[in-house]
């Protein structure tokens, strides 16, 4: 089940300036790009949203979330929702549950 990133807030990345060049005479003006669309990144708590059903893994309402075209697993270093991490299983060690170090099971 593929998940995408969704967040309650978004932040615009600063645009990178492109040095101006003189346009050659033979290039029509409509082929030159006029401007770039701003690029946004998630800000704040990031949730996992199912791409097929549009349901959030932790169960919150998806109405107020911005959905980004980024894979859920690619969000390294972000403030992930703990309930979404638990629901998706991403970030947990593979295999059976292990007791914490220093404790033994009877």
Q: What is the pLDDT of residues 14-27, one digit of tens each?
A: 766 666 666 666 65
Q: What's the burial of 34, exposed, middle or buried (CB within 10 Å: 0-12/13-18/19+)?
A: exposed
What tokens does 84 get?
């979404």
Per residue in 64-101, pLDDT (tens digit) is 899 998 888 887 677 888 999 888 887 665 555 555 55
The whole-chain average pLDDT of the chain stands at 77
């Amino acid at each position: 089940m593929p998940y995408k990133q969704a967040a309650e807030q978004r932040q615009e990345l600063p645009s990178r300036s492109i040095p101006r060049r003189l346009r050659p005479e033979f290039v029509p003006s409509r082929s030159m790009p006029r401007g770039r669309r701003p690029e946004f990144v998630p800000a704040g708590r990031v949730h996992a949203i199912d791409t097929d059903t549009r349901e959030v893994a932790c169960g919150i309402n998806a109405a107020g979330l911005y959905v980004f075209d980024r894979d859920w697993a690619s969000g390294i270093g972000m403030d992930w929702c703990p309930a979404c991490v638990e629901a998706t299983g991403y970030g947990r060690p593979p295999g059976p549950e292990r007791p914490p170090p220093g404790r033994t099971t009877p």
